[in-house]
Amino acid sequence: MEKGIVVEVLGPVVFVCRLEGERIAIEKPYACSLLGKKYRNGRPVPGDRVNFVIHSETVQRRDYQGVIQSIDERSSLVERLEPGGRRPKPLVANLDTLVVVASVGAPPLKPGLIDRYLVCAHHWALDPLIIINKWELAEEIDLLYVRLYEALGYRCILSSAYQKIGLDEIRTILERRHSAFLGHSGVGKSSLLNELFPGAQLATGELSQQSQRGRHTTTASRLLPFEAGGFIIDTPGVREFGITGIPSSELSDCFPEFRELSKKCRFQPCSHTHEPDCAIRQGVENDDLADFRYQAYLKIYAEIKEFEKTQY
Ligand SMILES: Nc1nc2c(ncn2[C@@H]2O[C@H](COP(=O)(O)OP(=O)(O)OP(=O)(O)O)[C@@H](O)[C@H]2O)c(=O)[nH]1
Ligand SMILES: [Mg+2]
Ligand SMILES: [Zn+2]
């Protein structure tokens, strides 16, 4: 039996690289099948650690090279609710860092979406990192948002896959870490990863002429190992990112700048939506808290409430 890490899942085929201790073997992944349909932890996703048996070192046409026997307990699991979906879909496992990738220009910077990913990072206790790509197209308003996020304590890397800006910084921070690139379709996640991992040959795609949105070029997540250790997982971009698995009562904990202040709300717990003497609402009025963050909170809060109603 070998220890391995799942790098990609394509339908029934799970691609696995061997683990030598903590290090991922830099090799062509083994095409593996699953042992039956049900595993205790559900189906494997990239980042999962598995125990597998290798049958064949060579790929013989469409035959499997190995079989996955079991999936290890996960230290973290990022899930997402697809538009119109009812059940969360597992996306990637065992991360320590969640990288939100956004762009300026096209698609334009959307703080609302960045906030959603940051909420998830906090909820799953992952270190957040923000990358703003296509920075060669930045305008003043974009820099303003970057300053606001930095003031909240988030690290922002300004990058351009075209002009090869920010790549060393990304590598320095993410080497030896276990991270995934998440964000809108078309922001340049795969383009950046192709620069960081020569030979990765990830597909990248033009934006739609009409909407200036991405066309969902990446369809399956793929794990890319660093030679120095650690990995980054490329994920398919989303149009919407439905928050799932966070109770409405825990949402305000996922906004770090709310934490201290919310202790001063008259009502405990306080939803910060309508209660009198709410320190958060007061903070927004006094400009101690950024209004766009509070608006993001209200929007996600309303969504979770709506979802919770359907659960009873
Ligand atoms: N101007 C500019 N365009 C870029 C940059 N990086 C990527 N692009 C372009 O943006 C488009 C989308 O890039 P992708 O790498 O496919 O984006 P993605 O985030 O992987 O998209 P999905 O796989 O759909 O989630 C392509 O046309 C890229 O050439 C950049 O730094 N500047
Ligand atoms: Mg992509
Ligand atoms: Zn309050």
pLDDT at 311 over 80: no
Q: Does the CB atom of residue 190 touch ligand 1 within 6 A?
A: yes
DSSP assignment of 161-194: TTTTBSHHHHHHHHTTSEEEEE-BTTSSHHHHHH
**241 within domain boundaries:** no
Q: Which pLDDT value is given to residue 312? A: 67
Q: Does the CB atom of residue 67 touch ligand 1 within 6 A?
A: no
The kind and range of the H/E element at 309 are: helix 291-310
**239 within domain boundaries:** no
State pTM to two decimals: 0.94
Q: Give the residue numbers spanning the domain of 274.
A: 248-310
Q: Which residues have a Cβ under 8 Å from the Cβ of 88 and sit 6 or more positions away?
A: 79, 80, 81, 244, 245
pLDDT in tens, 92-145: 999 999 999 999 998 999 899 999 999 999 999 999 999 999 999 999 999 999
Q: Which pLDDT value is given to residue 225? A: 97
pLDDT at 38 over 70: no
What gap in Å lies between CA 157 and CA 99, rounded to an integer? 10
Pair 255, 230 in one domain: no
Pair 108, 228 in one domain: yes
The ligand with the least distance to the CA atom of 184 is 1
Q: Does the CB atom of residue 214 touch ligand 1 within 6 A?
A: yes
Pair 256, 198 in one domain: no
pLDDT average, residue stretch 178-188: 95
pLDDT in tens, 188-227: 999 999 999 999 999 898 888 777 788 788 989 999 999 9
Which residue, 28, 51, 71, sits at the end of a domain? 71
Which residue, 234, 258, 278, sits at the end of a domain? 234
Closest Cα to atom 12 of ligand 1: 186
**92 within domain boundaries:** yes
Q: Which pLDDT value is given to residue 216? A: 85
**In the block, residue with structure tokens 């794990």:** 223
Q: Does the CB atom of residue 107 touch ligand 1 within 6 A?
A: no
Question: How many structural domains is the chain composed of?
Answer: 3
